[in-house]
Amino acid sequence: MIKIEGLYKAYGKNIAVNHLDLSIGEGEIFGFVGPNGAGKTTTLKVIATLLMPDSGKVLIDDKSIYSDIKGIRSSIGYMPDFFGVYENLTSYEYLSFFGEIAGLERMQLEKTIDELLELVNLVDKKHEMVDGLSRGMKQRLCLARALVHNPKILLLDEPASGLDPRARVQMKDILKELKHMGKTVIISSHILPELAELCSTIGIINKGKIVQKGTVEEINDRVFGASPIKMDYIENEVDVLNFVKAIPSLKVIQHTERSMDFLLKGSERDAAELLKSMVHQGIAVTSFRKMENNLESLFMELTGGEDNA
Ligand SMILES: Nc1ncnc2c1ncn2[C@@H]1O[C@H](COP(=O)(O)OP(=O)(O)OP(=O)(O)O)[C@@H](O)[C@H]1O
Ligand SMILES: [Mg+2]
């Protein structure tokens, strides 16, 4: 659906995107993660046909950004990382304006606006001024605007930035709904954990290049070669220790009387098999889970943890 090869864009001497390759399939929710200045916005703008690259191939649904801007724009909705100022417009007028630009007929426009306000949870703000909306509401309105022409593909540049935890949850729920609707979505963020649970695939960009792509588990596995797991159990600490010592793919990080953190090489299935055999051995496991905080270290490992700017 989206195919990018050798994308290159420089601003003077500053290389923003450096021979980037990326392909994203239909229905994928792709998390585009990277530190400040990594080239996320630049790449998204190129896909949205708002910025011409210096070189590289970019095909959206087999349409090239060099020859079919109109065709591409009809299938893409773009939500920029900033919200423009639109004074003296209500939410309704705002969406109506963009709907008219997209060429919607009046009847269809009214219906679309109501549906979109419903989707982004702003029905009661329909006739309120845009400037009076909170940041989270503006962001959701901006998302509705990106959807006004019912595009198949959505490009969302940091949709959750600056939102409080509650607003983030709301945004996540909307994104889940979009996934449900079968849209292909690219979401950029500089926070990996934020995207992990939502995205089918993650691409990590650093200094204008994709440095890793896959599910979070796959990337984790490639980078660290093992998954960190936390396990709690009742009693039998010695039994547990003896048991795990005999497993070559397992390395204990730390343990107490009732819990143990360890690294396990292998797939999720291997982890499930391990749990099964421990229970079989009579070890009273009360919880067994992958450690989440590892996402941060994964991100730091891949990007050097510095700004690219
Ligand atoms: N209009 C511009 N003029 C000059 N340099 C630019 C321009 N836009 C971006 N850059 C540079 O290109 C590089 C990539 O910027 P880009 O905005 O694509 O990064 P980003 O990954 O979106 O970062 P952030 O997380 O901060 O949004 C940066 O070094 C930035 O300074
Ligand atoms: Mg950006």
Q: Given the CA of residue 43, which atom of ligand 1 is nearest to it?
A: 18
Tokens linked to 143:
């998302």
What are the residue boundaries of the structural domains of the chain, listed by start?
A: 2-214, 221-296
SS3 185: strand
Tokens linked to 74:
């009809």
pLDDT per residue as tens digits for the range 114-129: 999 999 999 999 999 9
The domain 221-296 belongs to what CATH superfamily?
Malonyl-CoA ACP transacylase, ACP-binding (3.30.70.250)
Percent of the chain clearing pLDDT 70 (strictly above) = 94
pLDDT per residue as tens digits for the range 252-285: 878 888 999 888 888 888 999 999 999 998 899 9
Which residue type sits at 276?
A: K
CB-proximal residues (5 Å) to ion ligand 2: 40-41
* Range 2-214: architecture per CATH: 3-Layer(aba) Sandwich (3.40)
CA 169 to chain centre: 14
What is the best residue among 13, 22, 33, 36 to mutate for testing ligand 1's pocket, by most ligand atoms within 8 Å of CB? 36
Between the alpha carbon of residue 30 and those of residues 21, 54, 56, 137, 201, the distances in Å are 14, 24, 21, 24, 5
Pick the ligand that lies closest to the CA of residue 51. 1
**Residues making up the chain, counted from first to last:** 309
At 221 the pLDDT is 73
SS3 41: helix
C-alpha closest to that of 77 among 36, 119, 39: 119
CA of 196 to the centre of ligand 2 (A): 19
* Beta strands 284-290; 227-234: pairing state: antiparallel
- The residues, ordered by sequence, that sit 6+ positions from 33 with a Cβ below 8 Å of its Cβ are 188, 189, 190, 191, 192, 195, 202, 203, 204, 205, 299
Q: Tell me the average pLDDT across 10-38.
A: 94
Q: Which of 8-12, 101-105, 299-303 has the lowest mean pLDDT?
A: 299-303
Q: Which residue has the tokens 């022409």?
A: 149
2-214 and 221-296: same fold? no
C-alpha closest to that of 231 among 214, 219, 243, 215: 243
Which pTM value belongs to this model? 0.81
Show the ligand 1 pocket: residues with CB < 6 angstroms.
11, 14, 16, 34, 36-42, 81, 190, 309
Whether the per-residue pLDDT at 43 is higher than 90: the answer is yes
State the first-to-last Cα distance of the chain, in angstroms, to the nearest integer: 30
Q: Given the CA of residue 205, which atom of ligand 1 is nearest to it?
A: 21
Between the alpha carbon of residue 116 and those of residues 97, 108, 142, 207, the distances in Å are 14, 12, 11, 36
Whether the per-residue pLDDT at 294 is higher than 60: the answer is no
C-alpha 29/C-alpha 197 separation (Å) is 11
Average pLDDT over the chain, rounded to an integer: 89
CA of 209 to the centre of ligand 1 (A): 13
Q: Given the CA of residue 17, which atom of ligand 1 is nearest to it?
A: 14
